[in-house]
Chain A
């Protein structure tokens, strides 16, 4: 099934991805953001916070935003 993934970690580009049916948010995160901790991110599906075992649906919009971003001077 197809969904929109907005990764605000880095370039912030949005991509349409094909994922397997029944995939949970946690599984999706681990696949797209390997070696990252979910607690370091705001994870939203269709702009709403969801539990880790939330099952993704067709045309869902998944947004991942880091909670720690290093500024500069």
Chain B
């Protein structure tokens, strides 16, 4: 950013700071309205208390007191909010030369400053950051000037990794305190807001850099000890690459507790993809779980199938076959005793006494019974 551009950008920022001041006054009004509403409720409750006492309605009086107590405990927060806003209302807008000085100082502090005209964003890039031997790379801090006037609603800046080395468990976490390009400011929140309100741009970028170069193990999105870990797809447990398995079907990483070995092929499956043999209840992968009994269509492992049937169906079939064999033998014996010796012309088959089958070779003929032949 050359000197001419510095002056131009300084002008843009000065205009936005004027809008921010207006936003500050609007916010004051909004907070005061809320506070006034709370005070009106208090007045209403005090009248109720007075009315209750005049009638000796002590239960109603007690209820009013509880309501008043709750409202009083809620007052301190909005009061301090309003006070904080009012303390800042008298801050002067910095002069154009002061803002330009800030930009030049920023350039010296960070080596270079870029103003992206399309996004109206003032950007700096940090040095490469390493925290506890974990390399995170450089970060681009982008202050969206147009969003400065919405400072009280949302953060007007983003922090993007230029060479991301995100956490193994979440691509959106590029830094222990950065998620989806948003910094969780922690202890720096108040100072960052004050710096932006007063147009102290160099202080703002330095404060954000200080957060990026510090690790707070008590409250990270992902701790550095788990940075290179993998989260189990089923239970979320963070494991190292050596301790992880991969489901043969969905290829998701799973931990030891959530992995199932297929009884047939030995492959590993996750809880969601694994099936089960309905006979022996051992785990099967999704491919082997397509093996079905030919009769009842139960899912079976190879061990529980015999000639394409599960053990239950096999037993049943064997039992049916035995019964059929027995009944066939019985019928056969019966036929021999009632229709023995009778023959039909042209090789017609011997018919049973109760057989209603049509005999094509012996149409019109009738078997000659031994008794009749004897006569």
| CB < 8 Å A-B pair total | 90
Chain-A contact segment, one of B137-145, B213-221, B285-293:
B213-221
Residues in A whose Cβ lies below 8 Å from that of B195: 8, 12
Assess the A72–B202 pair: CB atoms within 8 A: no
B192-214 vs A, Cβ < 8 Å mask (1 yes, 0 no): 11110010101100110011111
Across-interface contacts of B192 in A (CB, < 8 A)? 12
**A68 an interface residue at 8 Å Cβ cutoff?**
yes
Q: Judge if B101 is at the interface, Cβ distance under 8 Å.
A: yes
List chain A residues, Cβ under 8 A from B187.
10, 69-71
Task: List CB contacts (< 8 Å) of B168-194 with chain A.
Answer: 176-179, 183-188, 190-194
For residue A44, which residues in chain B have a CB less than 8 angstroms away from its CB?
Answer: 105
| Cα-based distance from A61 to B292 in the complex (angstroms) | 83
Is residue A67 contacting chain B, with contact meaning CB distance below 8 A? Answer: yes
Bound Cα distance from A13 to B197, whole angstroms: 11
We find that the number of chain A residues with CB closer than 8 angstroms to chain B is 22
Contact with B along A48-73 (1 / 0, CB 8 A): 10000000000000010111111111
Judged by a CB distance under 8 angstroms, whether A37 is at the interface is no
Tell me if B267 counts as interface (CB < 8 A to partner A). no
- Please state if A71 and B216 are interface contacts (CB–CB under 8 Å): yes
**Across the interface, which residues of A come within 8 angstroms of B183, CB to CB?**
71
Given contacts A65-B210, A68-B214, A71-B183, contact A14 B203 (CB under 8 A): no
**B-binding residues in A (CB < 8 A):** 6, 8-14, 42, 44, 47-48, 63, 65-73
Q: What are 30 contact pairs spanning A and B, CB under 8 A?
A: A8-B191, A8-B194, A8-B195, A8-B203, A12-B192, A12-B193, A12-B203, A13-B194, A14-B198, A47-B102, A47-B202, A48-B105, A65-B203, A65-B206, A66-B210, A68-B213, A69-B187, A69-B214, A70-B186, A70-B187, A70-B218, A71-B177, A71-B178, A71-B183, A71-B214, A71-B219, A71-B220, A72-B185, A72-B186, A73-B184
* Apart from A8-B194, A8-B207, A73-B219: 12 A-B pairs, beta carbons within 8 A: A6-B200, A8-B206, A10-B190, A11-B190, A47-B105, A69-B188, A70-B211, A70-B214, A70-B218, A71-B211, A73-B177, A73-B221
